[in-house]
Amino acid sequence: MAAISFPFETVLIANRGEIAVRIIGSLRKLGLRAAIVYHEVDAATPAVALADVAFKISGRTPVSAYLDAEQIVTAARTVGAGALHPGYGFLSENAGFARAVAAAGIAFIGPSPEAIELMGDKIRARNFVEGNGFPVAPSAIEESDPPTFLARARSIGVPLLVKPSAGGGGKGMRIVRDLDLLEDAVAQARSEGQRYFGDGRLYIERYVEKPRHIEVQVLGDAFGNVVHLFERECSVQRRFQKIIEETPSPALSPQMRQRICETAAGIARAAGYRNAGTVEFIFGGGEFYFLEMNTRLQVEHPVTEMITGVDLVAEQIAIAANRPLSFRQPDISAQGHAIEARLYAESPERGFLPTSGKVLMLDYPHEQGVRVDSGIAQGQSITTAFDPMLAKVIVHAPTRDAAVAKAIRAVQKVVLLGCETNAAFLARVLGDAGFRSGEVHTGYLDENPTIASGIDGDPDEVTGLLAVAALVTRPVRDAADAVPALHAAIGDWRN
């Protein structure tokens, strides 16, 4: 989409880290100026260095600065931005912010505030999707008609998940696989709901065994055109934190892929959705159900870009500039297989504790079909002030097997010294037999804790590490050099 004109020259990025760098890349390509807001702890990051203009914002904590809509709108006005890209996280799904940006005469690069509100309210979104004839998990809500609650639940059929309406974090939840046990489960869940949340109201839905997380990328313009850009599978996660994403999903048949992708596009169309969005589904037992819609660019969008060749950020900007989509559904095709691995500042081997430190050496793999979206630079300090994601390693290859092998090599080539990361864990997940066979689900890592804890004690590796450590540690080397050379053949003479 070269050489198109925009009604704005400067775009303010209300974000930080790798996604800010990613957005700047597309702005450059489109000939637009990149402005950014930053908290002082981010002053030395690549995003701030790359931007054409940077505006400092402050807050009680660094995160609160990036959540301060007023300061950010003021910054956008001050730098003369005609559009604002919110990235992901922070204010990206805040309808009030989208409204404030628009009220300031600045184009919000995202959906309408109404779409953000609709999809942000989980019950409303679910009812909207169901009302338009799309699949949601069959469920029975007690308060809609208490006397028929159990009968309605029975008619769904097993397995069932009984949840406190006020619940969260899995507390009070009961799985029922035998309808004879439903009443007991309801009584227990009610008492636990009462105890944990002071609220005994319940909600029952179809339980999906070994659920997989499959989502579909959609794009809609201001003229009612909506397309999908295929699915992404994000089942490798830990407590709702995605770790590895790929496309295409190894779980879908061509027919199922078409159904799920068309469903996503249909939901977006029904919502009059404009800009980039992602419709998330739970998939299991050959069926899929609407989970939620994310009204923003996703972290894992690069795998879609790799297989389709579409620059999603550039499309977002064009849509916000009121341009019609430059392609229709039949124009979009997918080539090969792409995998993304998220590099986090955390230690899977020590219970996923966050890590920090100064980046003393940083080197990423440089090869065809390997893309690294990174927000850090050598010399920078990694703190725990923000989300621990440092970078994303994305690979593209003709087949899934080739992509897995390439992803393993790529994460092993990431050299980040000074702050512990999950790189070795990523290589273990990618090399795991379950992952390689494509048989994963959202509980897979919890069911296989040795992938996180790692298996240590390769004596060869310990020898190598100690040899390097001994040879580069000044006092050890000095002490050795202070004695005359001996012949190695003498061996253990000190014994």
Partner 1 sequence: MFHKFDLGGVMHELWLAPTVNGYYLRILDGWSGPVAFAEESTGRGSLTVAGTSEAVAFAVDGDVIHIHMRGRTRSLRYVDPLRALASVDGDDGHNVARAPMPGTVVALKVVPGDAVTAGTVLVVIESMKLETQIRASQDGIVERLHVKDGDSFDRDAILVTLSQGN
Q: How far is CA 416 from CA 391, 412, 419, 440, 467, in A?
A: 11, 11, 7, 29, 20
Residue whose C-alpha is closest to residue 162's, from 173, 146, 151, 170: 173
Q: Per the structure block, which two tokens stand in for 106?
A: 């600045």
Minimum distance from CB of 472 to partner 1 (Å)?
6
Cβ proximity to partner 1, 3 vs 488, nearer residue: 488
- Burial of 459: CB neighbours in 10 Å, binned 0-12, 13-18, 19+: exposed
* Residue 434 backbone dihedrals phi, psi, to 5 degrees: -65, -45
Q: How far is CA 355 from CA 173, 346, 430, in A?
A: 33, 5, 22
Minimum distance from CB of 455 to partner 1 (Å)?
12
> Where are the strands (E) in 221-312, listed by range?
226-238, 241-247, 275-284, 287-294
Residue whose C-alpha is closest to residue 316's, from 37, 26, 51, 103: 26
Cβ proximity to partner 1, 63 vs 256, nearer residue: 63
Q: How far, rounded to the nearest angstrom, does the alpha carbon of residue 307 sit from its chain's CA centroid? A: 18
The helix or strand, by DSSP H or E, that contains position 187, with its residue range, turns out to be helix 182-197
Minimum distance from CB of 242 to partner 1 (Å)?
16
Minimum distance from CB of 321 to partner 1 (Å)?
36
Cβ proximity to partner 1, 33 vs 428, nearer residue: 428
Cβ proximity to partner 1, 225 vs 356, nearer residue: 356
Count the alpha carbons within 13 Å of 487 in the hemisphere toward its beta carbon: 2
241-247 and 107-108 beta bridge pairing: unpaired
Cβ proximity to partner 1, 122 vs 477, nearer residue: 477
Minimum distance from CB of 492 to partner 1 (Å)?
7
Minimum distance from CB of 375 to partner 1 (Å)?
17
Q: Per the structure block, which two tokens stand in for 214?
A: 């499959």
Cβ proximity to partner 1, 303 vs 362, nearer residue: 362
Minimum distance from CB of 422 to partner 1 (Å)?
11
Cβ proximity to partner 1, 175 vs 415, nearer residue: 415
Cβ proximity to partner 1, 336 vs 354, nearer residue: 354
Contact 323, 221 (CB under 8 A): yes
SS3 171: coil
Cβ proximity to partner 1, 355 vs 442, nearer residue: 355
53-56 and 33-38 beta bridge pairing: parallel
Which residues here bind partner 1, judged by CB under 8 A? Answer: 41, 60-62, 349, 353-358, 360-361, 363, 383-385, 411-413, 415-418, 420-421, 423-424, 427, 456, 459, 461-473, 475-477, 479-481, 483-488, 491-492, 494
Which residue in this structure is represented by tokens 């700047």? Answer: 24
Minimum distance from CB of 336 to partner 1 (Å)?
24
Minimum distance from CB of 35 to partner 1 (Å)?
25
Cβ proximity to partner 1, 180 vs 492, nearer residue: 492
- C-alpha gyration radius of the chain: 26
Cβ proximity to partner 1, 166 vs 417, nearer residue: 417
Minimum distance from CB of 469 to partner 1 (Å)?
5
Q: Angle, nearest 10°, between helix axes 69-78 and 95-103? A: 30
Cβ proximity to partner 1, 49 vs 385, nearer residue: 385
- Give the DSSP letter of residue 380: P
Contact 73, 81 (CB under 8 A): no
SS3 466: helix
Minimum distance from CB of 343 to partner 1 (Å)?
11
Q: How far is CA 34 from CA 9, 21, 52, 93, 303, in A?
A: 9, 10, 5, 21, 24
Amino acid at 407: A
Q: What is the CB neighbour count within 10 angstroms for residue 477?
A: 12
End-to-end CA distance of the chain: 74
Minimum distance from CB of 224 to partner 1 (Å)?
40
